[in-house]
């Protein structure tokens, strides 16, 4: 193993070992290089990127996340700067500029050729988060009156500049979508066959103002390689390609996972984020949850007299709020996921409440058997019965709350993931204690 193989690219650049860095870069695939650049600080990533030959530099650049692309781009000089941004596909360029400072957007647009500038500006004009911003405008469209041979001539003539030619939208004289035909069908049929005989009419499609996540998940449901994107008049705007759809779903799932954990999602590579950045993303939610947790303290104070009379009740508090919190988090996670993939709608609220309530009661009954057995080993049987009954109640309540809150958030226009596991757990902790102490007072007569 050579020196360059034993050390990371960051170490080689940091030690100004240009020869070793070049050897490292030549021995790695573009996606590996992109991952290593994302791990490095911006200055080091720019130095390493400039060591790549121009053709390979573009391939690596396309593998980077938008935030890393912007960091690298700011360190490039002409002519590499111009070549990189000019050779990017318009939708990838628009994605990179989505959250870029105005100065960066202006510099990029000013350096583009007129056609590329026009396509990029058109993509950026669509609303933030809409599929119009992700649709590739470089698409080959076919008129519906063509034969297969004529259609293939169009593909050969215009396909060089298109991002993909596997899915070919078929349009009328006003460029309105009437169907799609796959390149495979054109290749396998006689040249004189009418294209209309091969067209899939009423294909799955998305309007440019639709949510990008909705369009991407539609592609997954229909198993389409590409999805036509149209404007309000059904004129073809472009195609959402499978690679962009995967990135959209990955970004959405990453954001949901972060919010379900009670933190803000961050852009860029985890290893490139500083300690202070990660702490800042998490601090707000932890602070809010800490304030919300004062409900538990308040409930304990209200029932302080009950605890003084039967001190053994305090022994089971961690077990009960833990079981309730876990049951609520499970329900919330399942509901957020079901909402994300379209399995549950806002109109299903009462069905979800009834379903999750029953699930919680079933789980609570199973846990109650264990709770009574364990409780009997450590304390009076009556207290063990209190623990068992509380487990049934708290699990049913927690599952109901966990399944309900994401749907209510959706109706109020709030991201369901925001009010999921951490918030549900905190709420269930407080209300679960109320159920515990009320049950204890009723059964023990205190």
For residues 206 and 227, the answer to whether their CB atoms sit within 8 Å is yes
Token pair 């009328």 is at which residue?
Answer: 172
- Are 112 and 174 found together in one domain? no
Tell which of 62, 95, 124 closes a domain: 124
Is 264 part of a structural domain of the chain? Answer: no
- Are 14 and 86 found together in one domain? yes
- Are 97 and 188 found together in one domain? no
Is 9 part of a structural domain of the chain? Answer: yes
- Are 345 and 389 found together in one domain? yes
- Are 242 and 364 found together in one domain? no
- Are 432 and 355 found together in one domain? yes
- Are 319 and 399 found together in one domain? yes
Is 349 part of a structural domain of the chain? Answer: yes
pLDDT of residue 97: 85
For residues 48 and 40, the answer to whether their CB atoms sit within 8 Å is yes
pLDDT of residue 2: 47
52-87 CB burial, b ≥16 within 10 A, e <16 = beeeebbebbbbbbbbbbbbbbeebeeebbebbbbb
pLDDT of residue 263: 62
- Are 186 and 241 found together in one domain? yes
Is 129 part of a structural domain of the chain? Answer: no
- Give CA–CA dist 65/119, Å, rounded: 21
- How many domains does the chain divide into? 3
pLDDT of residue 24: 92
pLDDT of residue 354: 92
CATH number of the domain encompassing residue 313? 1.10.357.20
- Are 235 and 328 found together in one domain? no
Tell which of 62, 96, 124 closes a domain: 124
- Are 243 and 371 found together in one domain? no
Boundaries of domain holding 148: 142-249
This model's pTM is above 0.75 = no
For residues 68 and 100, the answer to whether their CB atoms sit within 8 Å is no
pLDDT tens string, the chain, 446 residues long: the values are 444 456 888 888 888 888 989 999 998 999 999 999 988 888 888 899 989 988 888 889 988 888 888 888 887 887 788 888 888 888 888 888 877 778 888 888 888 889 889 998 889 889 988 999 999 999 999 998 899 999 999 999 999 888 889 999 999 988 999 999 999 999 999 999 999 999 998 899 999 999 999 999 899 888 899 999 999 999 999 999 998 998 888 877 777 666 666 566 666 666 666 677 667 766 666 666 666 666 666 666 666 666 666 677 777 888 888 888 889 888 888 888 788 777 888 788 899 999 999 999 999 999 999 888 888 887 788 888 988 999 999 999 999 998 888 888 888 877 776 666 677 877 888 888 888 888 888 888 77
Q: Which residues pair with 230 in a beta bridge?
A: 207, 236
- Are 300 and 439 found together in one domain? yes
CATH number of the domain encompassing residue 72? 1.25.60.10
């Amino acid at each position: 193993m050579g020196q360059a193989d034993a050390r990371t690219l960051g170490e080689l650049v940091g030690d100004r070992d240009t020869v070793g860095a070049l050897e490292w870069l030549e021995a790695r695939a573009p996606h590996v290089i992109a991952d290593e650049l994302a791990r490095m600080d911006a200055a080091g990533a720019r130095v390493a990127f400039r060591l790549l030959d121009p053709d390979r530099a573009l391939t690596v650049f396309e593998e980077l996340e938008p935030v890393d692309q912007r960091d690298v781009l700011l360190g490039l000089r002409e002519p590499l700067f111009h070549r990189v941004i000019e050779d990017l596909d318009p939708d990838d360029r628009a994605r990179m500029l989505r959250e870029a400072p105005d100065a960066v957007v202006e510099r990029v647009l000013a350096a583009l050729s007129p056609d590329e500038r026009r396509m990029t500006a058109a993509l950026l004009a669509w609303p933030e988060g809409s599929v119009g911003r992700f649709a590739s405008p470089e698409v080959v469209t076919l008129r519906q009156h063509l034969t297969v041979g004529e259609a293939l001539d169009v593909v050969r003539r215009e396909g060089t500049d298109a991002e993909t030619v596997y899915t070919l939208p078929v349009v009328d004289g006003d460029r309105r979508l009437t169907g799609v035909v796959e390149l495979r069908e054109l290749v396998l049929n006689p040249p004189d066959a009418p294209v209309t005989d091969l067209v899939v009419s009423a294909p799955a499609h998305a309007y440019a103002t639709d949510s990008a996540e909705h369009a991407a998940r539609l592609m997954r449901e229909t198993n389409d390689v590409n999805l036509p994107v149209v404007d309000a008049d059904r004129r073809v705007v472009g195609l959402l390609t499978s690679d962009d759809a995967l990135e959209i779903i990955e970004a959405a799932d990453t954001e949901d996972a972060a919010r379900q954990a009670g933190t803000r999602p961050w852009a860029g590579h985890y290893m490139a984020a500083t300690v202070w950045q990660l702490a800042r993303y998490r601090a707000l939610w932890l602070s809010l949850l800490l304030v919300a947790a004062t409900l538990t303290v308040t409930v304990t104070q209200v029932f302080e007299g009950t605890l003084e009379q039967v001190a053994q009740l305090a022994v089971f508090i961690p077990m009960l709020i833990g079981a309730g919190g876990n049951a609520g988090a499970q329900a919330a996670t399942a509901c957020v996921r079901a909402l994300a993939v379209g399995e549950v709608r806002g109109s299903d609220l009462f069905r979800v409440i009834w379903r999750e309530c029953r699930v919680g009661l079933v789980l609570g009954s199973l846990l109650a058997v264990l709770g009574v057995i364990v409780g009997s080993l450590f304390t009076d049987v009556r207290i063990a019965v209190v623990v068992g009954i509380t487990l049934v109640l708290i699990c049913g309540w927690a599952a109901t709350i966990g399944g309900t809150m994401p749907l209510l958030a959706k109706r109020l226009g709030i991201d369901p993931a925001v009010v999921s596991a951490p918030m549900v757990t905190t709420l269930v902790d407080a209300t679960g204690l109320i159920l515990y102490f009320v049950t204890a007072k009723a059964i023990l007569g205190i």
